[in-house]
Amino acid sequence: MHPQLAQYVDRALEEIDGIDEDRKRALEDVAAFVSWKRGAGEPAELVFICTHNSRRSQMGQLWAAAAAAHFGIEGIHTYSGGTEATAFNPHAVMALEKAGFVVEKSDGDNPHYVVTFDKGGPVIECFSKTYDDPFNPSTDFAAIMTCSEADEACPVVLGAELRAPIRYEDPKVADGTPIEAAAYDERCLQIATEMLYLFSRIA
């Protein structure tokens, strides 16, 4: 793992005791799905969904992949999507870079980002898309609903074997304010901590 990211993971692990019990139960539902898939010899595919696929769902995808690698859990494939496509928000990208992910960006209105968490590890392509985009799995996945708007807008996520509401406050509320960077950093740390807890519970 990239050295800066490894240090951030150590910091996030220290925050696990602060996760409340209701959230732990929701995270454990996803952990049970992953354990079941692994027991069946199948890959565990997780799709993180929010409205615009610009902030929380992208962070969830990347932190889930990094957390699985931290605990040496193989066969995990992470994705993200929205109820509509916009662009991966640059403030969210910056928070992830500060945490230690290495990010390369392309041009365009909806740029594609190449992200790594380890020098020799996998390369993850991130860009804003709808959750049912062909880039994402269409069946046998866990749909992790990271915002209330997407959760309410998608009463049914076709193809999902599990639907898990794990909602996060949108750091967008701080855009253009003096606490903008702090809000994105806080959300990044929360998602990192909860994904690490989730993968610590894999049987």
CA nearest 145: which of 42, 60, 20, 63? 60
Indicate the SS3 state at residue 63: helix
187 membership: H or E segment, kind and range: helix 180-200
Beta strand residue intervals within the chain, DSSP E? 44-50, 76-82, 102-105, 113-116, 124-126, 141-145, 160-165
Residue 147, pLDDT score: 84
Stated pTM of the model: 0.95
What single-letter amino acid sits at 103?
V
- On whether the CB atoms of residues 27 and 197 are closer than 8 A, the answer is yes
Contact assessment for residue 128 and residue 106, using Cβ atoms and an 8 Å cutoff: no
| Model pLDDT for residues 97-151, shown as the tens digit of each residue | 999 999 998 888 899 999 999 998 899 999 999 999 999 999 999 999 998 776 6
Q: Is the pLDDT of residue 3 over 80?
A: yes
Q: How far is it, in rounded angstroms, from Cα 85 to Cα 111? A: 12
Q: Which of 188, 79, 189, 68 is nearest to 117 (CA)?
A: 68
161 neighbors 137 (Cβ within 8 angstroms): no
Q: For the segment 6-61, what is each residue's pLDDT rounded down to a tens digit?
A: 999 999 999 999 999 999 999 999 999 999 999 999 999 999 999 899 999 999 99
Biggest distance spanned by C-alpha atoms of the chain:
49
Res 151: pLDDT: 60
Residues 189 and 161: beta-carbon distance below 8 Å: no
Question: How does residue 77 score in pLDDT terms, banded at 50, 70 and 90?
Answer: very high
User: pLDDT category, 152, cuts 50, 70, 90?
Assistant: low
Q: Please, what are the domains in the chain?
A: 3-14+21-200 (3.40.50.2300)
